[in-house]
Each structure stands twice: as C-alpha cells, then as structure tokens.
Structure 1
C-alpha cells in the first residue's frame, strides 16, 4: 500500500508457503523449467528474462506499471520483463516465502526503510548497475530512503506526504467556518470540530484520523516530531525517547477527539483510502497525499469542494513538520542472477527519460512527489497541473519540510502506536502507556543490538 504500509502477517511458515507457491516450477520464470532458464541466461542472441513484482495500487498506478513494462519490452529484444502484480495484503507473505525459497524476483517495489533489508543482505547495490548520472539526479529529500553510507540500494519512484488534512468545503461552510483555509493548529482543529458537530447528520463525524496502533505507528511519526522535537529513540539508538510532555500532549489531543465524539468509534474506511470522505461521512479526513488520486477517480464531484493542507501543528511546534515522507522505491534482489538486466530496466523505466514517468504523476492526479527535478518540471508543464491546485500544496508546501520515515525497526514504531491507541481509547493513562512502550522498545534495542546499527549521520 504506498507507504501506506500493510503490517499484516499471515501465520503460514515461509517454507510451507514457498512449497505451495513454487511446487512444480523449479525456475523463477512461471512455466519455465530450471534447465530452460539456464539456456536463456544471456548467451549471444538470447533474451534475458527477469521477474518484476509490484504491489496492487490504485487503478491508474496499476495501469502505468503494466504499460511501462510493455513499452520496455517493445523497445528492445535483449531483456524480457515478466510483470507480476501482488495484492497489497498478500505482499509480505509472498515476498517472505519467495526469499526463503531463494526465488525472490529480480526487481521489485519496496516501501519504508531499506536499513533492515540491507543488513539482511537482501538488496543489490545499484552503484555499478545504474549509471552514476541517474543516481545523482535523486533529490536530497529522497536520499535517506535510497542510500546508506554513500551506497545506493534503491531508486525511488515517488515520495508521498503521509499525513495530510483534507476537508469538505461545503461541510465547513455550513458550520460557519472559512472553507478555503483549514485549521493550522490542534487548538483550531478542536474548535472547528466543536462548531461542526451540531451540524452533522446521524452517521457523520467531524474527522477521520488514524485510530489503531499499526496505523498510528507509521502515520504519526511526523506528528511525534512536531510535538516533541524528536522521534522514538535517542540519536544513538541506545534508549527510548518518548517519556516527555510532547508525547503526552499528542496522545491527549487524540483522546479529546475520541472523548468528544468528533471521530467514529469504529473506522468508516481505512486510513489510506478516501471512501468515508468521498461518501461525505466526515468533514475532515487525515490520510496521505495519495488520497486525492482516489477522489479524482471515484468522487469527481468532490474535487472542487475538497480543501487540502498540512496537518495541524502542536502549539509550540516552532515550524517543525507534522508529516513524514512515505515512498515507493524499486530495488534489485541481492541474489538476482540478472542484476545488470534488472538495472537496465530500472534505469530505462524510472531513471531515464522523464516522459516515461510523467504519465504516472499526471494520472494519479498530481498527488505524489517526483524524486528528480527534471520530472518535477515536466509534470508541472502538463496542462492538467493548472487544474490541480493541491499539487503545489503537496509538492512545494508540505513535502520540502517533511521528515523521512524512521530507519529504526518497525517494532519500535508499533510500541508507540500501541501507546497512542490505548491512551486515546482510555485503556491506559499516558504514564502507564508510555511505561509499557518503553519496556517494549528496550527489549528491541537489546535483542537487535540497535546501538551498533544507529545511523552514522
């Protein structure tokens, strides 16, 4: 799910899943025997076949992936790319099974931090298989998710702001609130909700934010930084860093949304989708920048009635961002027998001619941030850009100051998310929830020796 991560794990052993997936195959190419694969490995005049996996995204994104593979295959005869679209909720299971069986695809999409994958030896260096001039075009904001210690392991297709505030202008106007400007602080948001609530019908709510531990874990990292001035670990990764007034204030604000009935007790839609907003069940929706793509394709009548802005700030944020930059990158598997071919496909598709990727950003309603200046400029020149005012807000007002996703392990983020959910729902006091989270984080630090893995910069 875009870095709209799906942190689901289906309890099937990797070995069993691998046996089911690859029974009777013997090759990384469907329908091809291992001997056949060996014959097609790049001899004179032969075609090298590589496997490319990507998640199921929105319809416009899926169409672009299918089209870019076809265009590449049609453009030359030395490399054939076999494209496999994997449902987002099955991605983790299928990829783990493939890796356990030594059958991972040659090239695939990757979200989140690359640190764990690099430490596990799963990713091939891009230096040497992708031209230096292509790597050098990656903008500074995307480098933290692309390289470690000066070596590139991933090439981003996009960056996405993970926490953006959307609002229904008609619903705000009905409550006597300026529909053109959303709240800029939590105090303003809470005041707006107090005005909006009496105007709502049964089944409608002021706001739909994150509300479960897993979603809090990844979507609120920027908010944690906004309130506290830091994220969940000390810089040297030797201790948790959540026992402070900033984290308590953030938890308390979510509890106010919950206690006052400003948000639904059960999600009306997933955080990553816009169905609840599209059906006019909420005045405000918190989601990633990608949500406008769904509004543009499924709820076109709302496009002109949707306001877009940065997520509200803490009272003393001091200019700090309230969002993290999600991303989707392409990576080459460390065990690929055709890494050079995978590098050529990657270079041609997303690191070469901007014309190859411009349709991706146009068709997704200008909701994502290109990672090369040349692509940003080409997208901005598209005639549709003038009709997408939210693009300027996302690309030029929100994304430039957003922080990268954390590189520490997911279990650290999940401990924080669990604390936030428990406080919001009244299951624990802030002190108790923070204490429980600290204990969980300390176990991760110890068991994974995080101090030795802390970022050098």
Structure 2
C-alpha cells in the first residue's frame, strides 16, 4: 500500500541490518542456481524476457499475471518469464543480480530511482524502441518524471498523489460546517480541525513523526515555497528560507491545538484512524481510497475528498507530490527490443489494458496517459466513482514529481518539523538544525552539481 511514497532508501531504514544481510545471502544463493535472466532461450526456442515485479497489493500480481499470460499466448518468438519479488528483499536481490550479470530484462522501477539508474548505466534508453506516439500520450506534468537530459529511460505506469484531504460529511454537518465547501487555506483547515474535535474524536490526522513528515510534506513544501529545502543543483541547503517556517508552524498549530492524535497507533500511510471513526478528517495519499473501500466500506458514503488546502488558497499550486511506478529495460540486456515491445503492449498500447488496471485498483491510483483517461471516461465504474474525478482533475493535475535526492535530506526536514510541532525546539532553531544537517549530507555524499536534469 505504501510502495511508491517512500523510495528504496525508506524500505532500508525500516529493515534491520541482520535481516538485510540474510536477504543478501539468500538472494545470492538463489541467483547462483538461476540462469534465465539476461535474454536466454526457452526449450521451444523462444527468446526469454525476464520480468521482475516488486510485490504490491494482491490484485496487482493478479493483474500483471493476467496480461503476461495473454501476451505470451499471442507470441510465437518471445516468452515473458514473470517473477514476483517481495518488497523487503527487492533491493538486495536486484543488486545481487546486477553484480552477477543476471539482472532482469524488465523491472518495476520507482520514479525516484530513474535518474540514478540512468547515470549508472542500469537502464536502456527507450527512444527508438517505443514509437513517438507512446511518449506524446503521456501527460505533460509526468513526462519529466521519466526524462533525463532529454532522453527517456522508463515508461510510466501510474501516479499516486501523496496528499489528499478526506473528511466525514456527517460530522462536518453536525459541526455547522458546509461539506460542499471544504477548507481552501491552511488557516481554514486549522479552524475546521478545531471545530470537528469533539469528545473522543479528533478533528484531523496528519503525519506526526519525522520519517512520515519527511516525504508526505513534500507537496506542502512546494506549496509554501515553490521549491524544496535544497538548491536546485544540490549545492547547498535552504531550509532557513522563511517560507519553510510556515510549513512547520502549520503542523505545530494542529498538534499544539490538540486537534490531532498525539500518539497515533499507525503511521501516515494507514487510513485506520479515519476508518475506525477516531478522526473527522484525514490527510493521506490516494492509496487510502483502496484501503477504505476494502476495509471500511461503511465509511465510503460518509466520506468526501478534496485537494489538500493551499497556504494562500490558490488551488493551482501543488499540495501533493506524485509517486509511482514505471517499467525499465536493463542496460545490458540481450533482448532490448523484445523487452521494449512487452512494455509497449502492457503500458503504452491498447488503453483498455491500463483502464482495466485502474478499475481493478478501485481507482486508488491514477493514469499517466491521456488516451487512458479517455477510455475511462466512457466506463460507468469510473464516472460513478465518488473520488476519482476530484483527485484526478484537482490533485494529480497540479502534483509535482517526488524529489530524487537522498532520503537523508527529506528526513532532516521532517525531523525539524516534528521538533517544532512537539515543542522540543522553536521553529527558527529547528530549521537551522535542518539546514546544517542538509549541508552535512551534501558534503559527505558529494551531492553538489549531481542533481538530475529533465
């Protein structure tokens, strides 16, 4: 459910060293007996394209298998060898495979890892392998996600906005507020959260720990400042710019106003507090739609969604970043064109294929192609969904790409916001600490001048 919000660095931070080491050993052992990667041939003479998919929700594995099977049935010279790899061993197994020269020909890759992979020669350039119309079909605010120095190294599959506002229409009415006119500014949201806090029900839930704030607040950082707390060329920190203090003050006002859970049982990606009626409003990603539909269906008729409020009320400014997944072709594969042909079929071909994916997801993930939007517009499931149109047109349309810098940068800012909101440091001091920490990361990891260019 949280696969695309926190890049692989975040998966590593949640994994103990001993578990990671065990995974490396097991992956290496498994690969020692595996010779079908890198463009081999099957017993019937077909070229084999090995496809590794990082494990996501169960419905995704079923969807991938359905269309891999259909593709294989239609091919006389190519076979897709589809393998699902658990998320907690993905990094280790992929690195071990690359080191052994047995990387998968096609793999799921998050947006945040495209730039680094392209720079290291891990991915094949896809220009010339896919037709021009495949690229022109991609939405304008997503094209840069897969473009490095003017060349394409991945084909996008989906986007998931990190921040959407969910609210209980029944509780909003009971508090004397208008559910048809949700908060437009951060100040409005604080007012709503205050009025909706009653008895055991808090008015709002939003990220409250450094690790969750680190990535879930990217959209709000863009909203307040128009940029992130590091220079565009990654040469220096800029967390002490006054606009970032406004982000910290916003979180602090919610927490110190006692309008949100002070010790939440689950982290930001989990919709459980809202689903169980503990809060009246929730900031969460679009993936929460899927969780509500699956686990808290009774809450759906009482729920409305809206773009997360803007600092100044301007709805055209971003409040969410867009994470998501792509398919990439290995830079050393022997079946480059066959691998690209499979990607064309699955992600860039008949719009009905991807339309089926978004329907299967319960419309908790969003399209990257205009032709798929058109295909969905003609389906009753999409047009009748209570959330899809608002999230797609008012949130995704203004979303920004997740940053590609190391997660340490994001964590430094998240740590500062948590310190501010919980009064362990005043806002100026916390931002100065973040600024120093970011500069330290830049120096130690030699980041200056390494920022990727679209």
Find 2:386's aligned residue among 384, 389, 392: 389
1:184 aligns with 2:190: no
**2:229 is paired with a residue of what secondary structure?**
coil
Give the one of 414, 418, 433 matched to 1:436.
433
CA contact (8 A) 2:50 2:105 kept: yes
Could you tell which deviates more after superposition, 357-366 or 269-278?
269-278
Correspondences of 1:346-357 after superposition (within 5 Å)? 346-357=343-354
- Preserved CA contact (<8 Å) 1:14 1:96: no
Q: Is the 8 A contact 2:40 2:49 kept in 1?
A: no
Mapping 1:281-360, distance limit 5 Å = 281-315=278-312, 319-360=316-357
**Residue matched to 1:168:** 168
User: Gaps spanning 5+ residues in structure 2: where?
Assistant: none
Once the two structures are superposed, residues 126-147 of structure 1 have per-residue CA deviations (whole angstroms, 9 ceiling, x without a partner) of 1233333323322211112111
* Alpha-carbon spacing, 1:25–1:407, altered in 2? closer, same or farther (3 Å): closer
1:31 is aligned to none
Task: Give secondary structure in 1 for the equivalent of 2:191.
Answer: helix
Q: Which residue of 1 aligns with 2:27?
A: 21
SS in 2 for 1:238: coil
Q: Which residue of 229, 233, 255 maps to 2:230?
A: 233
Identify the residue that residue 116 of structure 2 maps to in structure 1: 116
Q: Is 1:206 aligned to 2:203, yes or no?
A: yes
**Paired residues of 2:37 and 2:105 also in contact (CA < 8 A):** no
**In the alignment, which residue of structure 2 is the partner of 1:88?**
87
Q: Is structure 2 residue 152 aligned with structure 1 residue 152?
A: yes
Q: Distance in 1 between matches of 2:362 and 2:23?
A: 37
CA distance in 2, matches of 1:27, 1:50: 18
CA positional deviation for 1:292: 1.1
Contact 2:383 / 2:389 at 8 angstroms: preserved in 1?
A: no
Aligned CA-pair RMSD: 2.6
Query: Deviation of residue 400 (structure 1)?
Result: 1.6
Rounded Cα–Cα distance in structure 1 between residues aligned with 2:296 and 2:181: 21
Aligned equivalents of 1:328 and 1:208: distance in 2? 27
Cα 1:54/1:206, change in 2 over 3 Å: farther
Displacement after TM superposition at 1:15 (Å): 7.6
Alpha-carbon shift at residue 358 of structure 1 (Å): 1.0
Q: Distance in 2 between matches of 1:24 and 1:313?
A: 49
TM-score by length of 2: 0.90
- How far the C-alpha of 1:175 sits from its partner, in A, is 2.0
1:95–1:37 Cα change, 3 Å: closer
* SS of structure 2 residue aligned to 1:282: coil
**Structure 1 stretches lacking a partner, 5+ long:** 29-33
Q: Does 1:196 align with 2:158?
A: no
Q: Following TM superposition, by how much is the alpha carbon of 1:389 offset from its aligned partner in structure 2, in angstroms? A: 3.4
Runs of 4+ in 1 over 4 A off after TM superposition: 12-16, 42-45, 316-319
Task: Note closer, same or farther for the CA distance 1:77–1:269 as it changes in structure 2 (3 Å cut).
Answer: farther
- 1:402-423 deviations in Å (ceiling 9; x for gaps): 2221233322222211211222
Q: 2:115–2:148: 8 Å Cα contact kept in structure 1?
A: yes
- Over residues 210-240 of structure 1, what are the superposed CA-to-partner deviations in whole Å (9 max), with x where a residue is unaligned? 1222222222111011112321122333211
| Structure 2 Cα separation of the partners of residues 13 and 99 of structure 1 | 20
* Secondary structure, aligned partner of 2:171: helix
Count of equivalent residues: 447
In structure 1, distance between residues paired with 2:31 and 2:86: 21
State the 1:303 CA deviation: 2.0
Contact 2:309-2:315 at 8 Å conserved across structures: no
**TM value normalised by structure 1:** 0.90
Q: Distance in 1 between matches of 2:239 and 2:206?
A: 21
* Partner SS for 1:431: helix
Partner of 1:221: 218
Structure 1 position 157, deviation (Å)? 0.6
> Closer, same or farther in 2 for the Cα pair 1:363/1:45, shift >3 Å?
closer
SS of residue matched to 2:126: coil
Superposition deviation, residue 285 in structure 1 = 1.2
CA contact (8 A) 2:141 2:397 kept: yes
Residue 149 of structure 2 corresponds to residue 141 of structure 1: no
Shift of 1:311: 0.8
Structure 2 residue 270 is matched with structure 1 residue 273: yes
- Cα offsets for 1:35-68 (capped at 9, x unmatched): x779x83599612223322233233333212222
Deviation at 1:329, TM superposition (A): 1.0
